[in-house]
A and B are shown apart, each in its own frame.
Chain A
Amino acid sequence: MTGRGRGAGLLVAALSTGFGVALLQLAGVLGAVTRQETGNGGAAAAMLQVLAFVFVGLSVYCGAIVTTNTVATVVAGRTRMIALRRLLGGTARAERAAIAREQLGIGALGALLGLVGGSALAIVGYRIAVGTGTLPESGYSFTDPTVLLPVVAVPLAGWAAAWAGSRRVLTVRPVQAVHDVGEPTDDEAGGRLRTVLATVAVVGGTLLLVLGILIGFLTPAGVIVAFLGGVVSFTGIVLAAHRVLPPALALVGRLAGRTPSARIAAANALRYPVRSTRATVGLVIGVTLITTFAVAITSFGAALHHLLPGGSGLDVLLNGITTVFSLLTALSAVVAAVGLVSTLSLSVLQRTRELGLLRALGFGRRAMRAMVVVEGAQLVVTATLLGLVLGVVYGWAGAQSLLGSMQKGLVAPALPWPIVGAIVLGAVVLTLVASLAPAARAARVAPVAALAIE
């Protein structure tokens, strides 16, 4: 794998493990504090435990999806090298196995870093909270074996994700080492089976989500069923992304204006639907995740305040959740950004000849830069809109299934406007930051690159 792919893989593994570990450590602390304060475990501590596992599951899932995407992007970027190895006699299966094995190693290293980092973060956070009087002293030792769960789960999920993400190796033909035959067509990239699977997952997952909400009226454990439903239906959406996203991208692209740079940037989404989809999916995942948590926590907090006015354990609980939530927001934003930066860079690297042609035809450096920025903006805007809508639905479903039994009715979906604002602002910053280096590189492409044989 390239250095870039390895770095991203390591970062994703470290972040999702670190998050999971920090979360379980904090849940442990808060559980100990709550027991100490209220004298018994209580419903709040149990709920926190359930919530912690759901969040850990989410972060492992999110890491796996991002890894699948990263691996797919890396494989796309090194089609020629894989074709060469295939031509010299490497089997497609062996090539895939090597990629998956490498990811397992990277994942294991990342998980260890995450274990250390996450625990350190939790300990430091706790010491600060004790120092400022936010939390009381408790006997929690930070050595609960439960925290090893993400350390084991993340590398295994990464290994499976890399296997799934390297499916494209099968479409690389050995003759591509000799002649450039271009990107595979959409038909090769997503077969009918994929569409069927995606439909089954979306429908089945949505049904599970509804079932989770219904169970939620009886017990908070409904959130586990709803969580499964969310994971399954979102996986379906990610699988069907190659059908859903290109039209959405084209629509957003039309809003970018009619200058040549904007038109070419917008047309790219339709010309390379597979690559655009790969780039956008990572962001959709990030925004969906952030929004899901924001809506879930806000709804959860509002409902809980309503239920238990002035409860002593409540503020402790909400403080903890807010801390965890802020962490997650920051971490998943970083993961999404890493994905976008690498995709945009690869997109420019792979199109050197085409960009050279544009320069030869009379595009100035400024127009080249504008084109890359518009392409990035198109991806970010589409992903943000889709992620916000999905996140509100999932977040509300999560809060409803967790609280339905206590609320004895429907929880209103609370929209956290400051966070929505932060997401939009973050999207603008992300677009600019992610397109900076690729835009500069595109502007540097010489017109003669159009004539070069690779």
Chain B
Amino acid sequence: MDSTPVLSATGVGKRYGAGDTAVVALHDVAFELHTGEFVAVMGPSGSGKSTLMHLIAGLDVPTSGRILLDGRDITGLGDAALTELRRDRIGFVFQAFNLVPTLDVIGNVLLPFELRGVKPDAEQRAFIDRLLADLGLADRLRHRPGALSGGQQQRVAIARALAGRPRVVVADEPTGNLDSRTGRDVLGLLADAARRYGQAIVMVTHDPVAASFADRIVLLADGRVAAEYGRSDPAEIATFMLSLEDAR
């Protein structure tokens, strides 16, 4: 594992609104992510896990603290710079898949390149072909999302997220809309991507089974990091979550 993190957040806070009506979603959070690492961020509703994900992904800016991506501070960036950052360095996987229904599989996978205004070069194209083969999508390239099962749609979303070899892939409840068996397949694919391609992945989830696929688990509660654990099995993770409830 690389010693300098791909992504590091220090003292990160996020406050919505001002004065009496202000809501503090995150307090002084520290977080690191390394190359090839698959990290799960867990916590009950309102713990700040979605807010943390938005900040890491350049969808929102913190009100305090710093977030470094590849050593570059992204906290002061404006909309245009954040757009470029998301385009070139972040990949996304969502609960609701969020594929473009009018584009076929290959069109969806190449969409980030299209938005960048470039065509993948031979090396990138070879990587994408390998990716599509690994994800079992090679014979479905001309299918529209509507003709695919939920699990297949999520594989397309994963292919889209990985295709541009982003520095960080952000996954938001990627198994939330899938049955448990398909969900496990998808999690296996994400864990594989971290191992095989050295992809750094941060996944937000509240499912102990999903988190058991991760190398590391960060537990948030009330906008703070409550605990961190190494690889654990689902029963252990459920116990961590329950102890968090008891402590409150």
Whether A88 and B59, one on each chain, are in contact in the complex, defined by CB atoms closer than 8 angstroms, is: no
Contact of A255 with B by CB under 8 A: no
A88 touches B80 (CB 8 A): no
Q: Which residues of B contact A87 (CB under 8 A)?
A: 59, 86, 92
| Residues of B contacting A454 in the complex (Cβ-Cβ under 8 angstroms) | 96
B60: chain A residues at CB < 8 Å are: 175
- Mark the stretch among A34-42, A78-86, A318-326 that contacts chain B: A78-86
Over the window 348-380 of chain A, the binary record of Cβ atoms lying under 8 Å from chain B Cβ atoms (1 yes, 0 no) is: 000000000000000000000000000000000
Task: Give the shortest distance, in Å, between A7 (CB) and chain B (any CB).
Answer: 15
A158 within 8 Å of B by Cβ?
no
A89 touching B80, Cβ below 8 Å: no
The answer to whether A88 and B115 touch across the interface, beta carbons within 8 angstroms, is yes
9 residue pairs from A and B, CB less than 8 Å apart: A81-B100, A84-B98, A89-B88, A90-B87, A94-B115, A175-B59, A177-B94, A179-B50, A454-B96
Cβ of A178 under 8 Å from chain B: yes
CB-CB under 8 A from A89, the residues of chain B are: 83-84, 86-88, 112, 115-116
- Binding site of B, secondary structure by majority: helix, strand, loop or mixed? helix
A421 to B112, CA, bound (A): 55
Say how far B99's CB is from chain A's closest CB, in angstroms.
9
| Given known contacts A87-B59, A88-B92, A88-B111, A174 and B86 CB-to-CB distance under 8 angstroms | yes
Closest Cβ of chain A to B96, distance in Å, is: 7
Determine if B83 and A86 form an interchain contact, defined as CB atoms under 8 angstroms apart: yes
Residues in A whose Cβ lies below 8 Å from that of B116: 89
The answer to whether B112 and A88 have CB atoms under 8 Å apart is yes
B87: contacting residue among A84, A88, A178, A453, CB under 8 A: A88
Q: Which A residues are in CB contact (< 8 Å) with B96?
A: 453-454
**Docked complex Cα distance between A174 and B100 (Å):** 15
Shortest beta-carbon distance, B47 to chain A, in Å?
A: 16
- Minimum Cβ distance to chain B for residue A6 (Å): 12
Which 6 pairs between the two chains have the least Cβ-Cβ distance?
Answer: A89-B87, A90-B115, A175-B59, A89-B115, A89-B86, A88-B112
Kindly identify which residue among B83, B98, B111 contacts A91, using a CB–CB cutoff of 8 Å.
B83
Q: How far is the CA of A81 from the CA of B103 in the complex (A)?
A: 12
CB within 8 Å for A90 and B83 given contacts A85-B115, A175-B59: yes
What's the Cα separation between A220 and B84 when bound, in Å? Answer: 57
- In the assembled complex, B140 has its CB within 8 A of some CB on chain A: no
Please tell me the size bucket of the interface on B: 20 to 34
Q: Which residue of A lies closest to B53 (CB)?
A: A178
The B78-111 residues at the A interface (CB cut-off 8 A) are 79-80, 83-84, 86-88, 92, 94, 96, 98, 100, 111
Alpha-carbon separation in the docked complex, A347 to B201 (Å): 39
Q: Are B86 and A178 in contact (CB under 8 A)?
A: no
Interface residues of B in 53-92 (CB under 8 A from A): 54, 59-60, 79-80, 83-84, 86-88, 92
Assess the A91–B80 pair: CB atoms within 8 A: yes
Q: Using Cβ atoms and an 8 Å threshold, which residues of chain B touch A88?
A: 86-87, 92, 111-112, 115, 160
The complex places the Cα of A87 from the Cα of B86 at a distance, in Å, of 7
Most buried by B among A85, A89, A178: A89
B142 smallest CB distance to A (angstroms): 20
B100 touches A84 (CB 8 A): yes
Contacts of A86 in B (CB 8 A): 83
Given A88-B87, A89-B112, A89-B116, residue A174 in contact with residue B98 (CB < 8 A): no
Residues of the B chain whose Cβ atoms lie less than 8 Å from the Cβ of A178: 50, 54, 59, 94, 172
Nearest CB in chain A to that of B166: its residue: A89
Report chain B residues within 8 Å CB of A179. 50
Residue of A nearest to B164 (CB): A89
CA distance A390 to B100 in the complex (A): 43
Contacts of A175 in B (CB 8 A): 54, 59-60
Tell me the minimal C-beta distance from A1 to chain B in angstroms: 10
A90 to chain B: which residues have CB within 8 Å?
83, 87, 115
Contact A174 B115 (CB under 8 A): no
How distant is A222 from chain B, measured CB to nearest CB, in Å? 49
Min Cβ gap A91→B in Å is 5
Contacts A85-B111, A88-B87, A92-B83 supplied; 5 other A-B pairs, CB < 8 Å? A84-B100, A89-B84, A89-B87, A89-B116, A175-B59
Q: Which residue of A lies closest to B84 (CB)?
A: A89
The interface centre, meaning the residue of A86, A88, A174 with most chain B CB atoms within 10 A of its CB, is A88
Please, which residues of chain B bring their CB within 8 A of the CB of A177? 94, 98
Interface string of A86-109 (1 = CB under 8 A from B): 111111101000000000000000
A279 to B156, CA, bound (A): 37
| A179–B111 alpha-carbon span in the complex (Å) | 21
- The CA of A165 and the CA of B105, in the complex, are separated in Å by 31
Residues in A with CB closer than 8 Å to B80 are 91
Q: How far is the CA of A429 from the CA of B96 in the complex (A)?
A: 41
Whole-angstrom distance between the alpha carbons of A453 and B84 in the complex?
29
Chain B nearest Cβ from A97, distance in angstroms: 11
Q: Which residues of A contact B117 (CB under 8 A)?
A: 94
Q: Which of A46-100 contact B (CB under 8 A)?
A: 81, 84-92, 94
Which of B83, B87, B94, B116 gathers most chain A CB within 10 Å? B83
A175: nearest chain-B partner, CB-CB:
B59
Bound form: Cα–Cα A67–B186 in Å: 44
Residues of A within 8 A of B98 (CB): 84, 177
Minimum distance in angstroms from A94 CB to a CB of chain B: 7
B88 to chain A: which residues have CB within 8 Å? 89
Q: Which of A410-454 contact B (CB under 8 A)?
A: 453-454
Q: Give the docked Cα–Cα distance between A85 and B87 (Å).
A: 10
Cα distance, A92 to B83, chains bound together (Å): 9
Which residues of A147-178 are within 8 A (CB) of B?
Answer: 174-175, 177-178
| Closest partner residue, chain A, to B91 (CB atom) | A88
Q: Mark A172-191, 1 if CB is under 8 A from B, else 0.
A: 00110111000000000000
A451 CA / B160 CA spacing, docked (Å): 29
Considering only CB atoms, which chain B residue lies closest to A174 in the complex? B59
Q: How far is the CB of B105 from chain A (nearest CB, A)?
A: 16
How far, in whole Å, are A349 and B115 apart by their CA atoms in the complex? 28
Please, which residues of chain B bring their CB within 8 A of the CB of A94? 115, 117
CB contacts (< 8 Å) of B94 on chain A: these are 177-178
In whole angstroms, what is the CA distance A386 to B117 when docked?
A: 46
| Cα distance A205–B60 in the bound complex, in angstroms | 43
